Structure 1
Amino acid sequence: MSGTNGSKSNGRQPVIVVEGLDKTFQIGDQWVHALDGVSVKVPAGQFLAIMGPSGSGKSTLLYLLGGLDRPSAGRVMVAGRRLDNMNGDDLAQFRRETVGFIFQAFHLIPTMTALQNVALPGVFAAVPREQREQRAAWLLGLLGMTPRMHHKPSQLSGGQQQRVAIARALFNNPPVIMADEPTGALDSKTGQAVMSLLRRLCSKLGKTVIVVTHDAAIARYADRMLLLKDGRVIDDRAPTQEEKRDVA
């Protein structure tokens, strides 16, 4: 069902437009077709769950949407910018300004405190130190991490580390948040708390949130579910009321 405009668009303009997206790569003497003709539109302010089994192409799609990889063919437009023909410098600027990334492994710098980790994007954006630390402290406070902001990652629980990673992703106030298996390293209760937080970022702050997951339970937080198999979109729909029943 590729090519749909997305559930619950409510007339909102798409922040992401993908047309005929292909991605192939070589392993040994074999060519792997990771994505095969994917077309999709994502309205601004939507929470999209990209789902499917291992090897379905869901992480590949996320990386292409985030400018972390380039397609073999097709067109990728995000926030009015065409990614598939950008050079490396332009892609770096796009990622810095437009997308906040959250990963399963957190990717925090172990020698830095939570405050310093969150403020790090401000270093690359040449934000003065006092200003970036003030913003980092505000974001950590927003996520309930003020008491732990001077702790290093090794002194934080998995859930606390993921909150720091989310605060870092929000530092540049990007319109789009992309998360790759954000609860994969967390216990179920902590994972639910992180997903509820991402849901609030979408509902309260108007962020477009895209989450890659193999966990069907996470779909209950989404406005829309995109199911991939063998690099193709095989379903594109809103979660049922039964699937969403446990979400506050």
Structure 2
Amino acid sequence: MPPRLRLTAPPLILSRPEAQSRRFALEARRAGIDGAILISPVLQVHLDPPAALPPGDLVLSSVHGVAAARDLSGRRVWAVGAATARAALAAGADLQQTAPDIAALATLLLAARPERVVHLRGTHVAGSLIEDLSAAGIRAEGITVYDQAARRISDAARRAIAAGPVLLPLFSPRSAALLGAEVDGPPVAARVLAISAAAARAWPWPGEVRIAARPDGRAMLDGLRGLVDREGDR
């Protein structure tokens, strides 16, 4: 029996903000995903740094919050995701704990019960961290330090999605909804991978949406490799 030919991976469409998409593209290449990569963000991040950080334990749920805070020297920080934790440490933070998502971090904070919690967040917020902590008697507030403005996808990305098989990773509920709204008709050939069940639910089109084993970049890479292998078996 002749050996099966190895096929190039379908194009990978990255819709995260520019800097995050470029980092993920490098990781995808290192992971062996060898198809074309099209970076077409559906979100543009605009930082709005506070004049001064209020006292209390800081919650950082993205690297954008770290960038807005700038200097975290000596500040107690609770982080969502490994990338946010690394950025916080690089900015001088006293990292307390890291969780894969905001709900898991809320559980850690409810157990630790710090005196005061300040969430440095974006304009669009997932979850109910402040409400949950406040209901438990923990002084908590959220400060908006960046905005995530919607962007149109590029013509090249739109054509690739319409033309045939593509890999579509969805990294948040909002970006999933925005990307779905940009698609011209059901993307029947798209191989869709969501970082969470919430992101999968936000995808507006019918068809299979796989969910990563964990809500992090490594699991997303593993899931994309699985989709590439599945495509090669067709």
TM bucket by the smaller chain? under 0.3
Q: Which has the higher contact order (CA 8 A, sep 6+)?
A: 1
The normalised TM-score by structure 1 is 0.24
The normalised TM-score by structure 2 is 0.25
